[in-house]
Amino acid sequence: MTLDEIYESFIWDASYTDEEYESKIAVGINEAKKYKYIYPFIQPIIPEKSKCIWEPCAKVIALKSDEELKPYLYLLFEWLQDLNWPGAYVIFDRLLKMPFVLLEDALNHSKIQAEKGKDGLWLMALEDFSKQINL
């Protein structure tokens, strides 16, 4: 299955029942697991459809190992800029499962970026993340 076909399998359509849609997503996620690199699944931009595929893309990312995620941590923390974005909580929860030593630099960098950009929502999400990881 090509990347375009995977993206298509993640797009909801009113003609699908919930079961059909969940089945389509499961097939897409199964195919996406075969991809070595996760970059194409980090908030992909698809004209007029982007955000509707972010939740399944986040689920693909969540299946990857800590080592596979490590090069993408800065981008994954950017996904937390707005916790209302589809997939944000999937990424949040996956990052919580990683050892803090792997996350520390990317988390601190993200906090600095959020402060520089006066991005209050992102700062709140990062602070919430920090509180939870220290449990």
pLDDT digits (tens, 9 = 90+) for 88-116: 999 999 999 999 999 999 999 999 999 99
Which of the 8 DSSP states describes residue 43?
A: S
Q: What is the mean pLDDT of residues 6-12?
A: 92
pTM of the full structure: 0.93
Whole-Å CA distances, 93 to 17, 45, 100, 133? 28, 23, 13, 10
- Of residues 50 and 27, which shows the higher confidence score? 27
What local confidence, expressed as pLDDT, does residue 31 receive?
Answer: 96
> How far is it, in rounded angstroms, from Cα 111 to Cα 106?
9
> How far is it, in rounded angstroms, from Cα 128 to Cα 7?
31
Q: What is the mean pLDDT of residues 60-77?
A: 97
CB neighbours of residue 55 within 10 Å = 17
Q: What is the percent of the chain where pLDDT is above 70?
A: 99
pLDDT of 134 strictly over 80: no
pLDDT of 64 strictly over 70: yes
* Of the candidates 135, 113, 134, 133, the residue with the CA atom closest to the CA atom of residue 123: 113
* Of the candidates 28, 99, 32, the residue with the CA atom closest to the CA atom of residue 70: 99
Q: What is the mean pLDDT of residues 22-31?
A: 95
> How far is it, in rounded angstroms, from Cα 129 to Cα 71?
19
